[in-house]
Structure 1
Amino acid sequence: MLRKLIIICFCLVSGLVSGQKILPIFSPNQQLTLQVNRSLDGRLTYQVYYKSKEIVGLSSLGFVLKKPAVSLQNFTLLGVDTSSHNSVWAPVYGEEREIRNQYKELIVHGQSAEIRVDFIFRVFNDGIGFRYQFPEQTGFQHFIIDEELTQFQMTGDHNAFWIPGDYDTNEYTYQKTHLSEIDATKAAAAEKDIALTALIGPHAVQSPLMMKSAEGIYINIHEAALINYPVMHLGLSGLTFTSLLTPDAVGNKAYLQTPFSTPWRTILISDRAEDILASRLILNLNAPTALTDVSWIKPQKFMGMWWEMHIGKANWPLAGGKHGANTANVKRYIDFAAKHGFDGVLVEGWNKGWEDWFGNWKEDVFDFVSPYPDYNIDSLSAYARAKGLRLIMHHETSGAVTNYERRMADAYQYMVDKGINTVKTGYVGRIIPRGEHHDSQWMVNHYARVAEKAAAYKLMVDSHESAHPTGLHRTYPNWMASEAARGSEFNNAPTLGIIPEHTTILPFTRLLGGPMDYTPGLFHMSLNQFDASRTTRVRSTLAKQLALYVTIYSPLQMAADLPENYEGHLDAFQFIKDVAVDWDEKRVIAAEPGEFVTIARKARGRSDWFIGSITDENAREMTVSLNFLDPGARYEAVIYRDADTADFEKNPEAYVITKSIVTRNSKLSFRLQRGGGCAVSLKKL
């Protein structure tokens, strides 16, 4: 029931001037408390308590504007509104069929330097979200942000899972340290395999930032609904994080016009790691889609003519004699994908321009409509269509975003004409307009423009090298997945690669913002298959590669390896064929960041369940209760587990497949070997 309270009582307002608490607001389950305060000099701060324990200490709010040149830190209180909300909504696709959106809301109306600002707080059972709103007002319309002064004061030297703050990439390896030990400069210096970096400083990190206190409280800081605003990084001083917005070429952060609302700043809090992974707070803070017809948006599973370029069998350019995207080779992928029931085949290196793109910082490299002469797109599109699948287009922009924007309409119409309905975009390299970063306001707006333009042509988008996701797949459901982190392609990176713990951290960090195109499914772990000089290898067992289809969510899932590498393991490949890409229900069975993750999912519109369980470099025993299965029903469990001799370094491709009949009273026990995993298919009999 809606409740509104307008504070007009003179004695209360005058009391606040002397520095008092404005109003506490509690989560629906009463476990979380948000306290907003106004200090003697008019500064607004907030605190967050979980089960009566302070989790976020006194943290300031405000802005410094460049135009007009004013500081918005000392506020006169104009009033307070409170309300509550409880509803259920259905995503177009996702990890659940229905999502509950329940919170208490507090809006503090303030004024500073004759500029009105509303502070909007929402308190959920699993965390809080807050944003700034600049309402339409006389005498204040256009403005430029110099700094956002949002703080997050931690109350202890927590363990943290972090990557260096960087305006151009989020492809770093995660670090595990106490807050006091964060050294982004040192961590970045160890990275030799990232194409472009723009490191912020020694004490800057990225969100989502995962932490765990000494008392066992899990805390995650991120943002939601990133629209028309730069990405927020976090600068640490002592135990206090302050927002660091990505600048443009002249140092400005955002060019805005009233009315305007910033993205939400989010804090997830629980004493159970599993609750962090189950949270839908970020998704709930995004606006529903404006699309009236979403029938054309379909989750899909596809093959990729992609990995062979990473391991030396082929290459993207036509020049050099190893061009992978030729008609005969792509037909081979289409045949394999069609035989095994896939929806599409991604083809990279199909178009002219690859000989002169990387590192040249120039426009007009690609026009996105000119295939190489050995790639017959018309015959391949028809061939794929006859076999019940489609090609997936690849648009590598080479960072020349202005070039891509000029050509999007022609490129998307070309896709429609060829019967192609999904595009993978890429932004490798320095951005044009020159001086922009991948995380700047201009680029954030570009990613949204791509989603909107693609929707006009009924096209689905998978973006790579884009800003971190913030739940916008609710608003733009055709923007189905992003990379935006260190993905599986880094298994080929010669320096650090993908260490086993990485995939146990991603669900607590990158995946909180939205689906990730991680590209799992590698079966051949030694990468000298076509180039004897390569010493890199995939640091995972084969069974773990299967489990990643469940633990790393995406409605666009690639089978990343080569057809010939699957041919020798078709019994294990069966799990990739069977596993769903759209879900009715998600159960987080057990999880600990940097150690292990076990998740069960129920396929959309079906009675089948799938389980994925992964570990770091340590072997461990896992037991999974099947109490989520239907009462009275029997299921065939097909278990794809590490063999007893499996080891991600010594024997990664050893696996065992067993079958049994189970019910909701059953428990499955299995051992995850070093760097290993287990995948389970549960089919109702």
Structure 2
Amino acid sequence: MSKSFFQIIVFSLLIISCSKKSNNTYEITSPNGKNKIAFILKNGIPLYSVSHSDKIILTPSSLGFVFKNKDSLNTNFEIINVNKEAFDETWKPIWGETQFIRNNYTQISINLKEKSHAKRDLKIQFRAFDDGIAFRYIYPQQGKDSLIIMDELTTFNLQEDGYAWWIPAYKGNRYEYLTTKSLVSTLDTVHTPLTIKSNSGLSLSFHEANLKDFASMTLAHQKGTSLKCDLVPWADGDKVKTNGSFTTPWRTIQIADVPSDLITSNLILNLNDPNVIEDTSWIKPHKYLGIWWGMHIGKYSFWESPIQGATTKHAKEYIDYCKKLGIDHLLIEGWNKGWTPAWYENAMHMFSFTEEANNFNLKEVTDYAKANGVSIIGYHETGSNIINYLKQIDAGMKLYQKNGIHDVKIGQVGSRLNMKEWHHGQFGVNYYRQVLKTAAKYKLTVNFHEPIKDTGERRTYPNMMAREGARGQEYNAWSEGNPPNHTAILPFTRMLAGPMDFTPGILDVEIKQGYEGKDVHTTAAKQLALYVVYFSPIQMLADLPENYDENPAFKFLQDVPVDWNDTKVLNAEIGEYITTVRKDKNSDDWYLGSLTNEKGRTFEIDLSFLDNNATYEAQIYQDFKGITWNKGANKITISTKKVLATDKLQLNLAPGGGTAVRFKKIE
């Protein structure tokens, strides 16, 4: 495409996509013409509305702020000027679901000024993408005083009711709750992403992007089908503390005609700043074993004891397993001083991040790992004692760097940071960003557990590999467990925000060495399917390594990549089922993962995603006939067949089960 032709396209978009309907109403539409945002200034009050094709999503909804000891900023405005633009680029992520991402939108910036009183300025930017809309506020420095936000008045007045999938906000266990499905009109205050299927059939996800130096947004139910932004407060009640100016995160709505299109949306990533890490050669997607599952099922302890998990002896045994199984990373939890049986209680627990536990020698272990081609993943559990952690963070990360460690998992177990602040308030937001930047300084990738929610930071800091932020696999080890539909809900809720360290791969789903009466609530084949359905550039092989040794199903876990060239969702219904295919970034092979809730299903899959005029060997791992998630769930049938792009493949999923397939290109 010539430069002049590109300029013609941009100019056309400006004319077509941005229109002034009246003196105080402006509209923009997405490049494909489907998503429309209208800004309205009515009697000095700013409002906005959103529609998709012929369907109204949001009726006029409020905008503005309430400040501490200052007048609110939500009325008596006039429009000073309006700037319109179109943008179209294609960028290449360091790692991800696809090799390239297109960032294409139309934008309108509304510059407002109060007509009286302080005559304060406020800019509101709106962007319309093909996969949704976004907007943010920019409040420039106006005087020397600091400014404290007590409330954000943004509302989302939904035109119609519909079912929502949600987890509660302001609970002690952060984001780790089972998802509830209920009508929007019956919601409480909830975390984002909030996924809604409207009565007219649209699939919507409400979230935010590029969250930094601000409180995270929860959504509080108002009347009917109206939701309001509810910023997470500091312990003193303030919502956001500023030096007098601020830029909010983007408030986002991903919009899709079918649920599967929510999953392939890149809107959240596109609203983040480009990569700021110049040398990314040390950032490597990987699979890993861990001294971890044994602690959760009671085989080992985190602390020093006769069944201590993190010992030099155990670490070397696991390194030997890594070498034998072909896995080149190993996580070791509990290697440092400070672990006790009460480590997880909210008591400002004191961990050391440089002193080794008894029976563990870090240098001996890392030297042995290096000699065997294995990289150690470090672990920092803060116990939410952030004061203690930040005093030691440089020394702890420097120790890892000295010992050749490039990856660290960081936990924040506890209901409050420092027994005081929410994980997802402004304090927590800034803490997590500080840790991420510090890790980059020491060339460490990060896997946060008990995190702040993902809002696309991985584009700016690609060392932000994955995070927890939902009920993961561990709940199956020691609680009532995750029901079979849990894994069919997460792709449409939590995982719309970004990669999750779910820790799949339990092949002994009956947990024979665990607590009595506990099991994983999936079939073993479904555990394989999770590696394709759930994207993460780091994927744990969570089971005890002896359960992989000599297990034919482990071949799929050896083969499946974690970094992809392309991603497609072939079928999907929220909480019911999903089938995803991904193409390996480093070969011509495709991988398929399909899973269901507690209902058994049969799918006929069109293989047209494969290359034309090529033959593939389909290596199929599926549920053994007649099993269910709670009966014979360990059994897997493995078969192969030659297939073409013109073929169809039948998948038979047991109740609570799944299927995993590698399509190996052979001709």
Question: Which TM-score tier does this pair reach, normalised by the shorter chain?
Answer: over 0.9
Q: Which residue number corresponds to residue 365 of structure 2?
A: 380
533, 546, 563: which one pairs with 2:528? 546
8 Å CA contact 1:164, 1:205 repeated in 2? yes
8 Å CA contact 1:151, 1:243 repeated in 2? yes
498, 505, 526: which one pairs with 2:489? 505
Q: Which residue number corresponds to residue 586 of structure 1?
A: 567
The 5 A counterparts of 1:474-513 are 474-495=459-480, 497-513=481-497
CA distance in structure 2 between the partners assigned to 1:29 and 1:94 by the alignment: 25
Q: Is residue 423 of structure 2 the alignment partner of residue 420 of structure 1?
A: no
Q: Give the TM-score normalised by the residue count of structure 1.
A: 0.92
Q: Is residue 270 of structure 2 the alignment partner of residue 284 of structure 1?
A: yes
Q: Which residue number corresponds to residue 185 of structure 2?
A: 180
CA distance in structure 1 between the partners assigned to 2:137 and 2:346 by the alignment: 40
Q: Which residue number corresponds to residue 9 of structure 1?
A: none
Q: Which residue number corresponds to residue 139 of structure 2?
A: 134
* CA positional deviation for 1:49: 1.0
8 Å CA contact 2:296, 2:478 repeated in 1? no
CA distance in structure 1 between the partners assigned to 2:238 and 2:581 by the alignment: 45
496, 521, 524: which one pairs with 2:505? 521
Q: Is residue 80 of structure 2 the alignment partner of residue 78 of structure 1?
A: yes
- 1:578-619 Cα distance to aligned partner (Å, 9 max, x none): 000101111111111101111110111211111110111111
Q: Which residue number corresponds to residue 663 of structure 1?
A: 644
Q: Is residue 48 of structure 2 the alignment partner of residue 28 of structure 1?
A: no
- 1:518-573 Cα distance to aligned partner (Å, 9 max, x none): 00001112235244xx22211000000000001111101000000122225x2101
CA distance in structure 1 between the partners assigned to 2:434 and 2:346 by the alignment: 25
The 5 A counterparts of 1:566-581 are 566-567=548-549, 570-581=551-562
The 5 A counterparts of 1:184-333 are 203-237=188-222, 238-257=224-243, 259-319=245-305, 321-333=306-318
Q: Given residue 643 of structure 2, which amino acid in structure 1 is its aligned partner?
A: V
* CA positional deviation for 1:167: 5.8
92, 102, 107: which one pairs with 1:105? 107
- 1:148-186 Cα distance to aligned partner (Å, 9 max, x none): 11111112220111111126500000011112333xxxx
**SS in structure 1 at match of 2:552:** helix
- 1:305-337 Cα distance to aligned partner (Å, 9 max, x none): 100111111110103x21111122122211111
Q: Structure 1 residues 125, 432: closer, same or farther in 2, change over 3 A? A: closer
Q: Which residue number corresponds to residue 562 of structure 1?
A: 544
* CA positional deviation for 1:391: 1.1
Q: Given residue 160 of structure 1, which amino acid in structure 2 is its aligned partner?
A: A
**SS in structure 2 at match of 1:488:** coil
The 5 A counterparts of 1:625-644 are 625-644=606-625
8 Å CA contact 1:550, 1:612 repeated in 2? yes
Q: Given residue 498 of structure 1, which amino acid in structure 2 is its aligned partner?
A: N
CA distance in structure 1 between the partners assigned to 2:237 and 2:372 by the alignment: 52
Q: RMSD over aligned Cα, in angstroms?
A: 1.9
CA distance in structure 1 between the partners assigned to 2:482 and 2:106 by the alignment: 41
Q: Given residue 437 of structure 1, which amino acid in structure 2 is its aligned partner?
A: W
CA distance in structure 2 between the partners assigned to 1:677 and 1:153 by the alignment: 38
**SS in structure 1 at match of 2:474:** helix
* CA positional deviation for 1:3: 5.4
CA distance in structure 1 between the partners assigned to 2:177 and 2:375 by the alignment: 33
* CA positional deviation for 1:643: 1.3
8 Å CA contact 1:3, 1:82 repeated in 2? no
8 Å CA contact 1:586, 1:600 repeated in 2? yes
% of aligned pairs identical? Answer: 41
Q: Is residue 372 of structure 2 the alignment partner of residue 400 of structure 1?
A: no
* Structure 1 runs (4+) greater than 6 angstroms displaced: none
8 Å CA contact 2:510, 2:634 repeated in 1? no
326, 330, 335: which one pairs with 1:341? 326
Q: Is residue 154 of structure 2 the alignment partner of residue 150 of structure 1?
A: yes
Q: Which residue number corresponds to residue 97 of structure 2?
A: 95
* CA positional deviation for 1:360: 4.7
Q: Structure 1 residues 114, 678: closer, same or farther in 2, change over 3 A? A: same
**SS in structure 2 at match of 1:156:** coil
Q: Which residue number corresponds to residue 357 of structure 1?
A: 343
CA distance in structure 2 between the partners assigned to 1:386 and 1:234 by the alignment: 51
8 Å CA contact 1:361, 1:432 repeated in 2? no
**SS in structure 1 at match of 2:511:** coil
CA distance in structure 1 between the partners assigned to 2:146 and 2:663 by the alignment: 57
CA distance in structure 1 between the partners assigned to 2:67 and 2:154 by the alignment: 14
* CA positional deviation for 1:431: 3.6
* CA positional deviation for 1:367: 1.7
Q: Which residue number corresponds to residue 3 of structure 2?
A: none
8 Å CA contact 1:520, 1:549 repeated in 2? yes
* CA positional deviation for 1:67: 4.6
Q: Given residue 527 of structure 2, which amino acid in structure 1 is its aligned partner?
A: Q
- Structure 1 segments unaligned to the other structure (5+ residues): 7-11, 183-202
Q: How many residues align?
A: 648
**SS in structure 2 at match of 1:338:** helix
Q: Which residue number corresponds to residue 165 of structure 2?
A: 161
Q: Give the TM-score normalised by the residue count of structure 2.
A: 0.94
CA distance in structure 2 between the partners assigned to 1:261 and 1:586 by the alignment: 33
* CA positional deviation for 1:88: 0.1
* CA positional deviation for 1:494: 2.4
**SS in structure 1 at match of 2:553:** helix
**SS in structure 1 at match of 2:135:** strand
* CA positional deviation for 1:430: 4.1
Q: Structure 1 residues 427, 151: closer, same or farther in 2, change over 3 A? A: same
CA distance in structure 2 between the partners assigned to 1:3 and 1:47 by the alignment: 25
Q: Which residue number corresponds to residue 649 of structure 1?
A: 630
Q: Given residue 88 of structure 2, which amino acid in structure 1 is its aligned partner?
A: N
- 1:457-484 Cα distance to aligned partner (Å, 9 max, x none): 1111000001110111111110111001
8 Å CA contact 1:528, 1:535 repeated in 2? no
41, 53, 56: which one pairs with 1:54? 56
Q: Given residue 474 of structure 2, which amino acid in structure 1 is its aligned partner?
A: E
CA distance in structure 2 between the partners assigned to 1:282 and 1:28 by the alignment: 17
- Structure 2 segments unaligned to the other structure (5+ residues): 1-6, 15-19
8 Å CA contact 2:484, 2:598 repeated in 1? yes
* CA positional deviation for 1:252: 0.5
8 Å CA contact 2:325, 2:549 repeated in 1? no
8 Å CA contact 1:572, 1:640 repeated in 2? yes
* CA positional deviation for 1:513: 1.3
* CA positional deviation for 1:291: 1.2
Q: Given residue 604 of structure 1, which amino acid in structure 2 is its aligned partner?
A: K
Q: Structure 1 residues 559, 60: closer, same or farther in 2, change over 3 A? A: same
* CA positional deviation for 1:379: 1.4
* CA positional deviation for 1:128: 0.2
**SS in structure 1 at match of 2:459:** coil
Q: Given residue 233 of structure 2, which amino acid in structure 1 is its aligned partner?
A: P
* CA positional deviation for 1:214: 2.0
90, 109, 123: which one pairs with 1:118? 123
461, 465, 489: which one pairs with 2:446? 461
8 Å CA contact 1:619, 1:673 repeated in 2? yes
**SS in structure 2 at match of 1:658:** strand
